[in-house]
Structure 1
Amino acid sequence: MKPETAAKKLGIYLPATPAEFQEGELTRDDFLALQSDPPEWLSELRRTGPHPRSEVARKLGVSNSGLARAGVDDVLTTAEIKSLLEEMPEWLVAERATHAAVRDDAARAAEKKAQKVNKAERAGH
């Protein structure tokens, strides 16, 4: 597995990883070992960051697009994320509301689709 893929699956920012991680390929067993028994550098990176955009968005409760609209850097540390959550700037409040509405709409659409499938299955029997 390429380092980029492994970093993405681990939810870590690749440029902040050790050089040997960035330069080498991982076997499936290597990857599983990192997941099950993370080395100190991985635990520290997950704990303090810097975190990649997708992880920053998840921790803030917004979308990646919301971060872009707000002009937020691609990476933030845990301390920077906590600071934003404490300050709750206007853009963050608005983006969290937007993200929640989109999630709710997606859930309603999925439920409606499931009901149609269920209804069709009952009609077919």
Structure 2
Amino acid sequence: MKPQSAAKKLGILLDAAPEEFRANGITRDEFEALQAEPPAWLAQLRAEGPHPRPVVAAKLGVSNSGLARAGITEPLTTAEIKALLENPPAWLVQERATQAAVRAEKQRVAERERAAARDAE
């Protein structure tokens, strides 16, 4: 597995990983070992960051597009994410509301489809 793929599956920023991880591919067994018993560097990256865009978006409760609209292009650390959550700027409040509306609409559509499927039976 390529280092970039492994980093994505592990939820870490490849540039923040140790050189030995970035330089070499890993086998499926090595990947599973990293997941089962993460080494100290992996546990620290997951806990403190810097985090890749999808992880930042998930922790903030917004979409990747919402981060882009807000101009957040660089990886954020856990401390930076906590600071944003403790004192949310206007863009974060708006993007979280947008994300909540999208989730509610998806749920409404799914419920309507389930009801239609029940009626069809």
Q: Fold match, TM over 0.5?
A: yes
Q: How far off is 1:24 after superposition? A: 1.1
RMSD between superposed Cα atoms in Å: 1.0
Answering whether residue 109 of structure 2 is matched by residue 106 of structure 1, we say: no
Q: How far off is 1:111 after superposition? A: 1.8
- 2:38 is aligned to 38
> Deviations 1:86-107 (Å, cap 9, x if unpaired)?
1111110010000011011111
Letter in 2 for 1:44: Q
- 1:79 is aligned to 79
Answering whether residue 75 of structure 2 is matched by residue 48 of structure 1, we say: no
Aligned partners of 1:16, 1:115: CA distance in 2, in Å? 47
Normalising by structure 2, what TM-score?
0.95
**Where does structure 2 lack aligned partners over 5 or more consecutive residues?**
none
Aligned partners of 1:5, 1:18: CA distance in 2, in Å? 15
What aligned pairs does 1:1-125 form with structure 2 within 5 A after superposition? 1-120=1-120, 122=121
Aligned residues between the structures: 121
Percent of paired sites with the same residue: 61
> Deviations 1:1-48 (Å, cap 9, x if unpaired)?
111111111110010001111111111111110001000000000010
**Where does structure 1 lack aligned partners over 5 or more consecutive residues?**
none
Over 3 Å counting, the alpha-carbon distance change for 1:63 and 1:27 in structure 2 is same
Runs of 4+ in 1 over 3 A off after TM superposition: none
